[in-house]
Chains A and B, each alone.
Chain A
């Protein structure tokens, strides 16, 4: 039998490199923010409508669901911001090589996780 015949690659064992994952998360977080703008505009309108509206928003932000939505939007926003800054640095030629690109992806994840945890403390505390 010809030993050079092609083998079936085990697709289950393939995984995305980290820079691919940070790129997909950038897209996903962007879509979450786009949907989140509706919540933010609603909150802004109510909070600026008067004393009563402002305290309604404050009260609303005490509920579990609203806290979860707020944290979710903040997390998406912070991730998108950090990954976006990475892109702006890449525009300047920083982090474009294979090794520096991988390092930049790691830094993006690390900084985002820290900021998302801080945002969680801010929202839930």
Chain B
């Protein structure tokens, strides 16, 4: 087992592929929903707050946030294994972006639930 199989999110390529696809569908729907919302609504603070006050949208946003984390993990892992040849440099890069993903997820949860 090399360093690559330590840092990928799934246990193998098939799992990575499924995680990437499932998160892609969620992110596509979330993006299209928000674009549609902005296109059809005159967004002021009340409207914006009301959207993020609804339980279903908090959960949808959390799902999108976790999807960003998983999707970026698979994507950046793939890209880094393609371009960074030195195992130590690659490992450090992967550790750094996994840390950023963690920060994003925690930060996002704080925003959604106003912690």
Interface of B is mostly: helix
CA distance A123 to B97 in the complex (A): 30
CA distance A77 to B45 in the complex (A): 24
> Number of B residues contacting the other chain (C-beta, 8 Å)?
23
Residues of the A chain whose Cβ atoms lie less than 8 Å from the Cβ of B104? 37-38, 41
CA distance A125 to B94 in the complex (A): 40
Residues of the B chain whose Cβ atoms lie less than 8 Å from the Cβ of A34? 72, 75-76, 97, 100
Interface residues in chain B, defined as those with a beta carbon under 8 Å from any beta carbon in chain A: 21, 24-25, 28, 31, 44-45, 48-49, 52, 68, 72, 75-76, 79, 97, 100, 104, 107-108, 110-111, 114
- CB <8 Å contact, A48 and B24: no
CB contact under 8 A between A88 and B24, given known A48-B48, A51-B45, A54-B48: yes
> Number of A residues contacting the other chain (C-beta, 8 Å)?
22
- CB <8 Å contact, B28 and A81: yes
Expressed in whole angstroms, the minimum distance between the Cβ of B32 and any Cβ of chain A is 8
Expressed in whole angstroms, the minimum distance between the Cβ of B68 and any Cβ of chain A is 6
